[in-house]
Structure 1
Amino acid sequence: MTKPALDLFNERLPHKPYFSDDLHFGVRIAGKERAILAKYIQFNQPHAMFWLGFDVDRLGAAIDWSDRNAPAPTLTITNPENGHAHLLYALKTSIRTAPDGKMKPLKYAAAVENALRKKLDADVGYSGLICKNPNHGYWKIAVWQPELYTLDWLADSLDLNAANDKEIVADYGLGRNCTLFDKTRKWAYRAIRQGWPEYEQWLQACYERSSAYNLQFAMPLDESEVFGVARSIAKWTSKNFSESDFIKYVVNTHISSIQSKRGKKSKGGGRKLNVNSESQKKPWIEIGISRSTYYRKKNDGKNNQV
């Protein structure tokens, strides 16, 4: 039973994995043929996660998942000296972590990963980059579940109530991808209004911001992933946000009838204040343009109406 699992492990390795024979000296990168001989190896590809991996640092780690009512790992790789182990769950369909992947399934995968980590009481500081290499003769290998998992199958035995956005560990596994994307896009929605920069300048700004967020992680994402997130957000905001469209939006949402209703609702129908006038709201400040430019564009829009 071990050979099919090892064949699957090796088949899914990156073409040039990170590897190490001694973690005290860090990791290096090389072709699969060299890396597969090392004691530790990168087991997921840069933009595709075929395995959910967990680091369990306690005696009996390779077997006590059963006592915790956790799903059986595909593969356990155990240190024979202290009983600590890496637990790997093989996925039938890989999770795409590239920025062009959809965020909703990525968040679901992060929720499953986080709930399973809690169930196993695995190390929250584990980066998930490398694991004990099951091809290396030093480790003790065991195969527990030969069938490939779907996320739904794993979720059936987990409590996903603790796996919402607030509970997902921002600095763990897939949580980093979700966090970096969400923080950068929320910043971008406002920042692009400040001067409406040209695309190349805007891409550089998005990259610098996402890089700054990435450095807040204990184990930052790869540079290519950070740039990919920045490029994805820069492209989308450049395509969907423009100065003219935003001015139209502000003008349309600041007409007196809408503002009057908002004022009455916020004041409970009490004493009316002139909070709806444009001089009070100052929408040109929110847009990031001058007062004269705002009124000029607004008047141009009125003059163009039939």
Structure 2
Amino acid sequence: MNNAALELFNDRLPHKPYFSDDLHFGVRIAGKERAILAKYIQFNQPHAMFWLGFDVDRIGAAIDWSDRNAPAPTLTITNPENGHAHLLYALETSIRTAPDGKMKPLRYAAAVENALRKKLSADAGYSGLICKNPNHSHWKIAVWQPELYTLDWLADSLNLNAANDKEIVADYGLGRNCTLFDKTRKWAYRAIRQGWPEYDQWLQACYDRAHAYNLQFSIPLNDKETMGIAKSIAKWVKEKFSKEDFNFYVQKTHSKEIQSLRGRKSRGGGRPIDPLSLEQSKPWLDLGISRATYYRRAK
């Protein structure tokens, strides 16, 4: 195997990866020095994805990507007994999967990942947590593309027409992170108003809700990822939403004058609300929502 590719793989391993020598007995966690000796190993960081990994369960998996007009994997790790393989694509810039990362690039990465999975006809049930360890002598290793990929480079050979279709990416790979974050935060914006709980109680409520949503996935995220998403949402909403801010918002948007204008507008009379005062005070910033969302709710 190309030494540079193996060195790259090892450098990008987590400090304490999950590993297994026999998947029938599950996975364990240990320092990199121990885990690197195992047959299977966690290949991405907990909150940073340096590799797009795919599980292809068919004979010839390590070579038939070319027949499907898929981009060449960085490396393939093949089981010599049945020809099944893990295909790994090394990324030039890691994808931040922590919930404090920006969602737009994460959604784009999820669309690329899903489109590539479809092109490879890879297993949709693959969790992406561990892969065959290229350091282990049991597997057959091949390096196909020494250059690191950008998402745009991968996207050039893929069909991303369905990138905005949430149903396609919602339950696979990075799509789970996007879906869990979106569903939990939307719930949190409303739930925080129910008694304005103390932080510890609020964090537990956010985790319970995220955990329930996570269990709806065919392959759930691990508990650390779920807690990370819940903690990020709990902290952000707690900082941005308060009883005082909400009361101020209600006063700004539900005064007698505004309610009267809304009533006239709903009956087909009067003019639309003059937003000048709202444009000056910008209450949507205090609420942590966009200007468009604010006006949509006001209507």
The interval holding the TM-score normalised by the smaller chain is: 0.7 to 0.9
Q: Name the CA distance, whole Å, in 2 between partners of 1:241 and 1:49.
A: 31
Q: Is the 8 Å Cα contact of residues 110 and 168 (structure 1) preserved in structure 2?
A: no
| Aligned mates of 2:40, 2:184 — CA distance in 1 | 33
Describe the shift of the 1:182–1:41 C-alpha distance in structure 2 as closer, same or farther (beyond 3 A).
same
Q: 2:75 corresponds to which residue?
A: 75
Deviation at 1:124, TM superposition (A): 0.4
1:153-164 to 2 correspondence within 5 Å?
153-164=153-164
Matches within 5 A, 1:124-273: 124-256=124-256, 258-260=258-260, 262-263=262-263, 266=266
- Is the CA contact 1:112–1:158 (under 8 Å) kept in the aligned structure 2? yes
1:263: how far off?
4.4
Whole-angstrom distance in 2 between the partners of 1:146 and 1:189: 45
- Report the Cα offset of residue 220 of structure 1: 2.6
One-letter amino acid of the counterpart of residue 101, structure 1: G
Q: Partner letter of residue 58 of structure 1?
A: R
Q: CA deviation at 1:113?
A: 0.7
Offset, 1:148: 0.3
Distance 1:166 1:266 in 2: 33
Aligned residue type for 1:176: R
More off after superposition, 175-184 vs 194-203: 194-203
Contact 2:207 2:230 in 1 (8 A): yes
* Residues 187 and 136 (structure 1), Cα distance of their counterparts in 2 relative to 1, 3 Å cut: same
1:45 is matched with which residue? 45
Match of 2:161, SS? Answer: helix
Question: Are the counterparts in 2 of residues 40 and 131 from structure 1 also a CA contact under 8 Å?
Answer: yes
Q: Counterparts in 2 of 1:79-118, with a 5 A limit?
A: 79-118=79-118
Distance 1:216 1:67, change over 3 A: same
- Matched residue type, 2:138: Y
Larger Rg: 1
Tell me the distance in 2 between the aligned counterparts of 1:143 and 1:262: 65
Shift of 1:88: 0.2
Checking the alignment, whether the CA contact within 8 Å between 1:75 and 1:87 is kept in structure 2 is yes
Separation in 1, partners of 2:265, 2:85: 59
Give the deviation of 1:265 after TM superposition: 5.2
Partner of 2:65: 65
3-state DSSP class of the match of 1:224?
helix
Aligned to 1:288: none
1:190-241 Cα shifts (integer Å, max 9, x gaps): 0011111122221221122112222223333232222221121112111211
User: Which whole-Å deviations, capped at 9, do the CAs of 1:223-281 have from their partners, x for residues lacking one?
Assistant: 22222211211121112112222223223323455445544555556xxxxxxxxxxxx
Cα separation, 2, equivalents of 1:260 and 1:160: 47
Q: Distance in 2 between matches of 1:222 and 1:167?
A: 21
Tell me, what secondary structure is at the counterpart of 2:247?
A: helix
**Deviation digits for residues 52-81 of structure 1, max 9, x if unmatched?**
000011121111111111111000111122
CA distance in 1, matches of 2:262, 2:176: 38
Query: How much does 1:174 deviate?
Result: 1.0
Which amino acid in the other structure matches residue 86 of structure 1?
Answer: H
- The amino acid across from 2:183 in the alignment is K
Equivalences, count: 270
The offset of 1:38, in angstroms, is 1.4
What is the DSSP-based 3-state SS (H/G/I as helix, E as strand, rest coil) of the residue aligned with 2:52?
strand
TM-score by length of 2: 0.84
Deviation at 1:43?
0.8
Seq. identity, %: 84
Give the structure-1-normalised TM-score.
Answer: 0.82
Q: Look up the SS of the partner of 1:161 in the other structure.
A: coil
Please list every run of 5 or more consecutive structure 2 residues that lacks an aligned counterpart in the other structure.
Answer: 270-299
Cα distance change on mapping 1:161 and 1:266 into 2, 3 Å: farther
Mark the runs of 5 or more structure 1 residues left unpaired by the alignment.
270-306
The answer for the alignment partner of 1:292 in structure 2 is: none
